[in-house]
A and B are shown apart, each in its own frame.
Chain A
C-alpha cells in the first residue's frame, strides 16, 4: 500500500488542476446509548488548491465533526467513519495514526474555535511553538526561537519577543487566537481548517482575525476550509460555500452565485438571520423557527421539512437528492427550490394555509410581535 500511495502522490502532484482535497460520501456516526448519531451523513465536496471553502450551518449541523473527520481527529472510541477522503491523491482514511502524524501540522493544520481552551495553560506560548517547530523541522533551539518570534510577528503580535515568554492567561482572546494561528502555520501546512475561529471573540477582533487568516492564506498559497455558523463571515472571504444541515450538504455553490441565486430554503433562512447595516433600527432578526433536527431519528423525507416555509407533502416522505442547478458548480437538495416556479407555488400555498413557519419567514408573525412589543420599547 505505501508504494502505491507514493506513486499516486507523484501523479497528482504533476496534475496541478486536481483538487487538493476530495471528500466522497463521508459518513461519521457516533454510537451512543440513545442510538446512532449521524453527525455527518454522506458529505461530498472538493477544494482546489489555494481556494477557500466555507462550510456554513447552525449549531449541531455537523461542521466540526466533518472537519475533524477529514483531518482524522475524531478520537472518540465510539466513532464509525465511512466514505473516502483523498488529500493530494492519498487516501487519508486508510492511514494509521502514526502516518497521520506526518500529515498533521505539515500538510494540514487546524485553528480551533476557542483560543481560551486550545492552548496549554501551564506552558509558555513561546515554548509551545518552539517544541513543535523543533520536532517537525529539526532545527536548533535558537533557530526555533527565531522562527517562532518571526511567526508571532507575522500574525501581528506586538512585541513578539516579550510575548514569547507569556503564559496563555496573560494574553487576550484575540492575541491567543493569533498565537493559535501562528502555531497552526508554523510548519507551513498546505491546508488549513478554521473551525469557527472567531466565534469566541469580540466583534472588533473577529474582523482582524478573519483578515489575518485571509492574508496568510494568500501569502502562503494555502487551501482553506472555513467553518462558521455565520453566512456573513464567509460572504467576502470564500470562493465556494457548502451549506450543511443535519449532517448533509444541502446547497453548494461559488460564493457569488450562492448569494445571488440561492436555491435552498435553509440557505435563505440563514441569510435572513444576518443583521444588515441598512435595516431600520430595532428590526427584529428573524431566527429560524423550530429546533435543529434530531440526528438519531432524523425526520423522514427532507430533514429541513419540519421547519421549512416551503414544505409540501412530498417533502415529508421523499429525501431530495443533491442535484445540479443550471449554473455550473451550483448544487442543491430541494424539491421546491427558492426562486423557482415550484418554490413560489409552494410558498403561496403555505402562506394561504397559514403554515406558521411560512408566516414567520414572511415576517407576518414577527410584524405583529413587533407591534405588541413596540409600545413597551417606545415608551
Chain B
C-alpha cells in the first residue's frame, strides 16, 4: 500500500508517512523488476536489449569485426578487391535469413545498421542524463536550499536558456563546432538538458529543505554545506534518477531530429535518425529501411517513458519541465 501512498503524496501536504524517497533503496533489481506491471517489464527488457545490442555493436567496431554481425557501412553488393568478386547482396531486399531486416537502397544490412545506430541514441541519452544530473542536479539542489539572491540569479539564467527555442539553440551550437562527432553532439545536447534538470532538482530541493530531517540536522549543529551534500542532494538525486529516464526518451528524439536534419553525427555512421532520413527518399523502392529505425526509436522512447513513469510514481516525484 505504501506504493500507492507514495504515488499520491504531494510535498505540499506534510502527511507523516508520505514521500520517503529512500524507502525501497535496498531492493534488488530483480525484486524491482517483479514489481513492474507487464508493460514496464517489456520496456525494461527492450532497453536491456538495446543496451546489450549497442555495446555488442561497439565492441564489434572496436575489435574489427570479430563478432558475428555484419558491417553496417558495407554495401553487400560491392566489389571486393581481395576476393575479386561482387557481394551477394542486392539493394532494397526484403527481410530474409541472411538479412534479417532486409537491406537498404545501397544494399547495406538493415539489422547491422539498427544495432550500430542504437549506440548513438544510447550515448546521447547517457551523456545528457549525466550532465543533467550532475550539473543541473547540483545547481537545483543548491538554489532550492540556499534561496535568496543565488536562487534568483541562477534561475534567471536557467529561464533564459529555457526560453530559447531548444532546436534553434541546438542548431546554433552544433554549427559552431567544426567536427560533428558523437561526443560533440552529446555534449551539446547534454548542456541543453541542464536547465530542465535544474528546475526539477530545485522543486525537489525546495520540498526537501522543508522536511523535518533537515531542521533536525540543523538543530544538532550541522554546517549548511554538509546539510546540502548529506541531506538535500542525496534525496534530490533519488528522484532525479527517475526523471532522467523520462528525459532520456526526449533526448533520443532530439538526436533523431538532428540526424534527420542531417545535423547530427557525420555520415556514414548510422544513427536511427539519419537512417530514416536517407531511406525516406527511396521509400518507393522499399519501406523497411524507414520502418525499422522508426520502430526502434518509438519503442525505445516509449520504454524509457514507461520505466521513467514507473520509477517516478514509485518515488513520488513531482515537477517536470522539458
Contacts and interface: CB of A to CB of B under 8 A. Distances in A.
Interface of A: 71, 73, 75, 77, 100-106, 109-110, 112-114, 116-123, 131-132, 135-136, 167-169, 180, 183-184, 186-187, 200
A112 B215 contact: yes
Contacts of B211: 117
Interface stretch (B12-20, B197-205, B253-261): B12-20
Contact of A121 (B23, B218, B222, B230): B23
A120 B222 CA distance: 13
Contact of A73 (B14, B25, B219): B219
B87 interface: no
Given A116-B16, A132-B222, A184-B220, A167 B22 contact: yes
Interface in B230-276: 230-231, 234-235, 238
B100 interface: no
Given A77-B147, A118-B212, A136-B221, 8 more contacts: A73-B215, A116-B17, A118-B213, A118-B216, A120-B235, A121-B213, A135-B223, A183-B220
Contacts of B91: none
A71 B25 CA distance: 34
Contacts of A132: 220-222
The interface centre, meaning the residue of A71, A101, A117, A186 with most chain B CB atoms within 10 A of its CB, is A117
Contact of A119 (B17, B25, B216): B216
B217 interface: yes
A105 B220 contact: yes
B235 A122 contact: yes
6 contacts: A101-B221, A101-B223, A105-B219, A114-B212, A122-B21, A122-B25
B16 A200 contact: yes
A324 B170 CA distance: 75
B274 to A, nearest CB: 42
Contact of A135 (B16, B20, B222): B222
A183 B216 CA distance: 9
The interface centre, meaning the residue of B218, B221, B223, B231 with most chain A CB atoms within 10 A of its CB, is B221
Given A117-B212, A118-B212, A169-B23, A123 B230 contact: yes
Interface of B: 14, 16-17, 20-23, 25-26, 147, 211-213, 215-223, 226, 230-231, 234-235, 238
B212 A112 contact: yes
A120 B235 CA distance: 8
Contacts of B230: 120, 123, 131
A132 B211 CA distance: 19
Contacts of A71: 219
Contacts of B23: 121, 169
A193 to B, nearest CB: 8
Nearest to A184: B220
Contact of B220 (A121, A122, A123, A187): A187
B20 A104 contact: no
The interface centre, meaning the residue of B14, B147, B219, B234 with most chain A CB atoms within 10 A of its CB, is B219
B217 A120 contact: yes
Contact of A117 (B14, B25, B226): B14
A169 B219 contact: no
Contact of B22 (A110, A116, A118, A121): A121
A299 B221 CA distance: 39
Nearest to B220: A105
Contacts of B234: 120, 122-123
B26 A109 contact: no
Contact of A105 (B26, B212, B221): B221
B16 A109 contact: no
Given A120-B230, A121-B20, A122-B22, A110 B235 contact: no
A210 to B, nearest CB: 20
B314 to A, nearest CB: 14
A75 to B, nearest CB: 7
B169 to A, nearest CB: 34
Contacts of B238: 122
A73 B218 CA distance: 8
A104 B221 contact: yes
A226 B319 CA distance: 38
Given A112-B212, A122-B234, A123-B230, A169 B20 contact: yes
B231 A120 contact: yes
B170 to A, nearest CB: 35
A109 B235 contact: no
A135 B226 contact: yes
A104 B215 CA distance: 11
Give the 10 A-B residue pairs with the shortest CB-CB distance, closest first.
A122-B22, A105-B221, A105-B220, A104-B221, A121-B22, A117-B212, A121-B20, A118-B212, A118-B216, A110-B219
